[in-house]
Amino acid sequence: MLNYKRYKRVPVVDYPERQWPNNEIKEAPIWCSVDLRDGNQALIEPMVVEEKVEMFNLLVKLGFKEIEIGFPAASQIEFDFLRQLVERKLIPDDVVIQVLTQCREHLIRRTFQALEGVKKAVVHIYNSTSTLQRDVVFHKNMEEIKQIAVDGTKMVQECMKDYDGQVILEYSPESFTGTELEYALEVCTAVQETWGATADNKIIINLPATVEMTTPNVYADQIEWMHRHFKNRDCIILSVHPHNDRGTGIAATELALLAGADRVEGTLFGNGERTGNIDILNIAYNMFSQGIDPKLNIEDIKNISEVYERCTKMNIDPRHPYAGKLVFTAFSGSHQDAINKGMQALRERGSQIWEVPYLPIDPSDIGREYEPIVRINSQSGKGGVAFVMDTFYGFKLPKGMHKEFADVIQKISEKQGEVSPEQIMDEFKKCYLEQKEPLHFKKCQITDTETESGEFATLAKVLYTENGVEKSFEGIGNGPIDAVQRGMEEALGINIKVLDYSEHALTSGSGAQAASYIHLMDKNTGKTTYGVGISSSVTRSSIRGIFSGVNRLLY
């Protein structure tokens, strides 16, 4: 039995005056990518300089205006990467790079050496403030921990005297979620006042969920409490940096935005320590799905995924939101049917608003394709097979035909698993379009005639083969289909009824083909089936459909 008594519950925040539950996200925050620092340090095989350059260029292309590029004082590789960006002039004028450093004098000085030549940078200092780390890691009291943050701020100010560029200070009380709120506010305020933040020279206060410790609503309470208790709030850019230890990092971030956060730090696809950082793309696409401009260029998720996987050597899970290979795929028959009907309704109504069951966004808007939306296996149903035939091949099967053909595919899928669209089409040809034995339609002549009573009628003269032997018949009816049916009944000694008929164009243009669907019944047995024919002539396609149906029904 799990020894759950080893763990204590993290207390919630007593904050009944919370306002965030009634708020809505209406605009994108300031995005800051930490792929090249937090993400990179969590890789089994960290990126080499050229891989980091490729990742940096991708982040710039995506529209990130703030990019944390590393911890330049931590290693020579980190230092050299920053120097590469400067010397190769890879930092656009509208992009601010961010560098991380602990509140230690030699590390801060080394950081400023790496920054030489950078016009504008965020210098991100941090120290842990949580009750646990104060006790077991630093063995310092509250005043001593606060002094580390204040001293780090003063060191940055001292190094700025010999620095030509502009510096924005960011301070993070690491392990904020494990820190008493009043104390976290005290430390952040001390840094704010030491820095001398103003409305024109704002400080970034970053409140990380370094370890996700409880439910997202508690994090939102913590953010709103800080947001409403900061002195001179207009002098602060309130940033969040959630991790995903409990699997609720996305929710925690979105609730933090409701609670007053201005800025979000995260990575592409959530790469990061342990269960990862929050996935900025996930949040941005969530906003996009609600009609909000995410302020990032994320129209091509396939290219983003390819660069990410190449540089990080990490694989994106097939169920990862928006980016996974299977997230726009439906195996369930009821889902497939609903998607099919939703897509048809969208086309028929000509609506500019995307509303399709089970698809929160149009996959094509982010560089995905319709082709993999529906995949057929033993769990699929008639709607999925019909969707494949329509979407891939343009055959709009009559509703009554959905089950008949789906039963054919079901038997195949039970034996082999997933059935590809190509195999579905091959079976359709075999079952319907190529049903030419024993009866094979060759050609026909349709002319107007009169019945014995003098009424207008249609005369059909049909040439066909039966078991390879060429034969012909004539029939008179109220139209081509009726005339062919009557002629076949008399020539073959059968008793059939046309229950339904439909047709549509398969392609557009001068060479367009028509597809005709004939629903037939053997009046002697009550058995029914469909026949399908295609031709550039609607009349020929319908006659081929009758022959296809008779072959299926009787032979």
Task: Give, rounded to a whole angstrom, the gap between the first and last alpha carbons of the chain.
Answer: 64
- In this predicted structure, what is the pLDDT of residue 372? 47
CA distance 220 to 513: 60
Percentage of residues in the chain having pLDDT higher than 90: 83
Residue 383 has pLDDT above 80, yes or no: no
pTM: 0.78
Residue 510 has pLDDT above 80, yes or no: no
**Chain segment 20-34, per-residue pLDDT in tens:** 999 999 999 999 999
Closest Cα partner for 22 from 229, 240, 259, 293? Answer: 259
- Per the model's pLDDT, the better-predicted residue between 446 and 334 turns out to be 446
* Range with the largest mean pLDDT of 88-102, 413-427, 500-514: 88-102
205 in Cβ contact with 194 (< 8 Å): no
- Per the model's pLDDT, the better-predicted residue between 520 and 419 turns out to be 520
**415-to-124, 379, 499 alpha-carbon distances in Å:** 59, 13, 33
**446-to-46, 460, 462, 471, 481 alpha-carbon distances in Å:** 75, 5, 9, 17, 10
Q: Which CATH superfamily is domain 29-312 in?
A: Aldolase class I (3.20.20.70)
Average pLDDT rounded to a whole number, residues 351-361: 92
- In this predicted structure, what is the pLDDT of residue 272? 94
In this structure, of 59-68, 166-175, 444-453, the range with the lowest mean pLDDT score is 444-453
Residue 404 has pLDDT above 70, yes or no: yes
**441-to-500, 550, 551 alpha-carbon distances in Å:** 20, 11, 11
Average pLDDT rounded to a whole number, residues 54-71: 97
Domain covering 333-432 assigned CATH 1.10.287.1400 in the classification: yes
Average pLDDT rounded to a whole number, residues 200-206: 97
| Count of Cβ atoms closer than 10 Å to residue 410 Cβ | 20
- Would you list the domain boundaries of the chain? 29-312, 333-432, 439-554
**Chain segment 108-139, per-residue pLDDT in tens:** 999 999 999 999 999 999 999 998 999 898 88
The band of 555, judged by pLDDT with boundaries at 50, 70 and 90, is: confident
Average pLDDT rounded to a whole number, residues 329-348: 83
**Chain segment 154-186, per-residue pLDDT in tens:** 999 999 999 999 999 999 999 999 999 999 999
CA distance 35 to 281: 12
- In this predicted structure, what is the pLDDT of residue 382? 75
Residue 370 has pLDDT above 60, yes or no: no
Instruction: Give long-range contacts, CB 8 A cutoff, 24+ apart: 146-149.
Output: 146/186, 146/187, 146/190, 148/103, 149/103, 149/125, 149/173, 149/187, 149/190, 149/191
Average pLDDT rounded to a whole number, residues 255-260: 98
Burial label for 350, CB within 10 Å (0-12, 13-18, 19+), is exposed
Residue 507 has pLDDT above 90, yes or no: no
Q: Which residue has the tokens 């439909």?
A: 502
- Per the model's pLDDT, the better-predicted residue between 339 and 172 turns out to be 172
**Chain segment 453-484, per-residue pLDDT in tens:** 778 899 999 999 999 999 999 999 999 999 99
In this structure, of 231-245, 249-263, 390-404, the range with the lowest mean pLDDT score is 390-404
- In this predicted structure, what is the pLDDT of residue 339? 83
Percentage of residues in the chain having pLDDT higher than 70: 97
Residue 374 has pLDDT above 70, yes or no: no
Average pLDDT rounded to a whole number, residues 355-379: 79
**Chain segment 271-293, per-residue pLDDT in tens:** 999 999 999 999 999 999 999 99
The band of 384, judged by pLDDT with boundaries at 50, 70 and 90, is: confident
On average, the pLDDT of the chain sits at 93
The band of 305, judged by pLDDT with boundaries at 50, 70 and 90, is: very high
Please state which of the four CATH numbers 3.40.50.800, 2.90.10.10, 3.30.160.270, 3.40.50.10300 is assigned to the domain occupying 439-554.
Answer: 3.30.160.270
